[in-house]
Amino acid sequence: MAKRFTDGTLALSGVDLDVGQGEFLSLLGPSGCGKSTLLRILSGLIEPSAGSLDWLTAAQQTRGAAQPKLGFVFQEPTLMPWATALANVALPLRLAGMSRSEREDRAASALARVGLAGFETAYPRALSGGMKMRVSIARALVTCPDILLMDEPFAALDEITRFRLNNDLLSIWQEARFTVVFVTHSVFESVYLSERVVVMAARPGRVVREIAIEIPYPRDETFRTSAEYASLCRTVSLGLGEAIAA
Amino acid sequence: MSETIALPRLEEDVQPRLAVRRVLGVARDAWPRILMPLIIGIASLGAWEIAVVVNDVPPWIVPAPSVILATLLRDWHTLSVSLWITLQITFAALAVAAGLGLLLAILFAQSKWIELSLFPYAVILQVTPIVAIAPLIIIWVNNVKLALLICAWIVAFFPILSNTTLGLNSADHNLRDLFRLYRASRVQELFLLRLPAALPLFLAGLRISGGLALIGAIVAEFVAGTGGQASGLAYRILESGYQLQIPRMFAALFLICVTGIVIFLVLGLIQHLLLRHWHESAIRREG
């Protein structure tokens, strides 16, 4: 799978990026560098004003609009407050016209996958911030997406919850091996999670560096406290510093 | 993966609390809300009664509460017929206002152009005093009951229209993106996203309109005067005024007030029942 586009406006300029199938990629950069814009273009919510987005799937080596199945996790949990956790997770299936019993089964197992079994009938307001985000992730996973797009999903959470969600996200990803494009402004999060960190700079939004994180999975707390992790974070931090100065 | 997660216990929030102490079937801390207004009401009526008796005020100026109550019971037959007519007009007007208001708001939400072109006329309908156009409507529409219904509807419909329009347009933008992402049809977006998001504002509009529909029905009947077969409570008040039956006037007035209060409470209850699981307005805060 490859994609490429260039955007004539100031939001993004001359961005050329390939994302491999099954890859965990982080987009890292200061605010205003267009990383969320890039993600929204990937999702098809907005069109690039110049350039194009190509999906190459193994089944069909044709370029163009054959969009793979997407899951999107927003910065806020973005749940429907009037619906239970189960109904929220089942929403993408309901929109696709799946029967009630089937979509509820699948939604329940998606909830169990993010560790929320037993909370099917809870309304979002009764859930903590981290649990709402879990519901949001379950909703993105329920369609078994080829690509999971995440827009600073854990930015509003406390560090303890964030670490726990990082670990859970990694173990889900290792099981299913979908592609993840993860937008963040945390150096530590990007290094901990991804195989490749793409550093972006602002005005105009552009890619300035790509740093591979060649540490095998599973990664856990041992990795988080290792010297290797610290030195990678240092490298990425320096890259980000250059991007901000650039 | 499950052993890494220690979820906080949420039973208290998720399950209805069972430990609410009840006195005579009503939650204990709800009693002051019922008792205090009742005490004030009884005290004022008592003061009124005493003032009328002590000063020997004639009943055609200010009747004592006991006289009003006696009149209410004595004339219950005619008054209840009138009450029924007023109730019919009020609820029919409210139902039509809710239905048309909702439909028009949905139409507005479909296209900015429709909203731009029609909304000013809805405002004109709202700002025109009903007393000024009621005579015209009564002339144009032969059926008095229908004429009264139209007047009450004009008064009641705007809050529902404007509130619902606002509600339909205020669905979370990220959720709208999500619906687009999963290629939801317009109908799906309307029923699964916009209408539920608009429900709290629609219900708030309905609560305002409930009172307005009653006022509209009464005012229109005053304008229509004694000319009709539809003799609601306003007609009784006019008639009692001509006959100097002041206690009966008060009795009719009392019925109108009670009707207004009951409409307000019933719509409040509907609002609570529909929103209690999720909307901030319907959730009791601790402490």
List, as one string, the DSSP characters of B122-172.
HHHHHHS-HHHHHHHHHHH-S-HHHHHHHHHHHHHHHHHHHHHHHHHHTS-
Q: Domain B77-281: which topology?
A: MetI-like fold (1.10.3720)
Check the CA dihedral A82-A87-A89-A92 and report its sign.
negative
Confidence of residue A51 (pLDDT cuts 50, 70, 90): confident
Residue of B nearest to A72 (CA): B178
Q: Which residue is closest to A116 within chain B, CA to CA?
A: B7
ipTM above threshold 0.95: no
Answer left, alpha or beta for residue A184, where phi above 0 means left and psi between -120 and 50 means alpha: beta
Torsion, Cα of A94, A96, A100, A103 (10° steps): -90
Q: Is the Cβ of B2 closer than 8 Å to some Cβ of chain A?
A: yes
Residue of A nearest to B173 (CA): A78
The whole-model pTM stands at 0.83
pLDDT given at position B119: 86
Residue A46 has pLDDT above 80, yes or no: yes
Full DSSP string of chain A: --EEEE-SSTT--S-EE---TT-EEEEE--TTSSHHHHHHHHHTSS--SEEE-----SS----SS-PPPEEEE-SS----TTS-HHHHHHHHHHHTT--HHHHHHHHHHHHHHTT-TT-TT--GGGS-HHHHHHHHHHHHHTT--SEEEEESTTTTS-HHHHHHHHHHHHHHHHHH--EEEEEES-HHHHHHH-SEEEEEETTTTEEEEEEE---PSPP-HHHHTSHHHHHHHHHHHHHHHHHHH-
3-state secondary structure of B243: coil
Ramachandran assignment for B225, one of left (phi > 0), alpha (psi -120 to 50 degrees), beta (any other): left
Residue A45 has its nearest CB partner, among B5, B181, B280, at B181
Cis peptide before B37 (omega within 30 of 0): no
Q: How many CB atoms lie within 10 A of CB A120?
A: 17
**pLDDT of amino acid B285:** 62
What residues in B contact A120, CB-CB < 8 Å?
Answer: none
For A229, the token pair is: 């992790």
Stretches in chain B below the pLDDT threshold 70: 1-21, 226-230, 283-287
Across A13-31, average pLDDT: 85
Q: Check residue B286 and give its pLDDT.
A: 53
Check if B13 contacts A (Cβ < 8 Å).
Answer: yes
CB-CB under 8 Å, B279 with A81: yes
Within 13 Å of residue B248, how many CA atoms lie on the same side as its CB? 21
Q: What is the pLDDT of residues B47-69, one digit of tens each?
A: 999 999 999 999 888 999 999 99
Which residues on B lie below 8 Å from A92 (Cβ)? 182
Q: Give the mean pLDDT of chain B.
A: 86
Question: Which of helix, strand or coil describes residue B7?
Answer: coil
pLDDT tens readout for residues B74-89: 999 999 999 999 999 9
Q: Going by C-beta distance under 8 Å and a sequence separation of 6 or more, which residues neighbour residue A151? A: A36, A39, A72, A73, A74, A75, A183
What are the boundaries of each domain within chain B?
77-281
Chain A contact for B170, CB < 8 A?
no
Mean pLDDT across chain A: 86
**What domains lie within chain A, and their CATH numbers?**
3-245 (3.40.50.300)
pLDDT digits (tens, 9 = 90+) for A198-225: 998 887 788 888 888 888 888 888 888 8
Q: For residue range B129-174, what is the model confidence (pLDDT) as tens digits?
A: 888 888 888 889 888 889 999 999 999 999 999 999 999 998 899 9
pLDDT at A244: 83
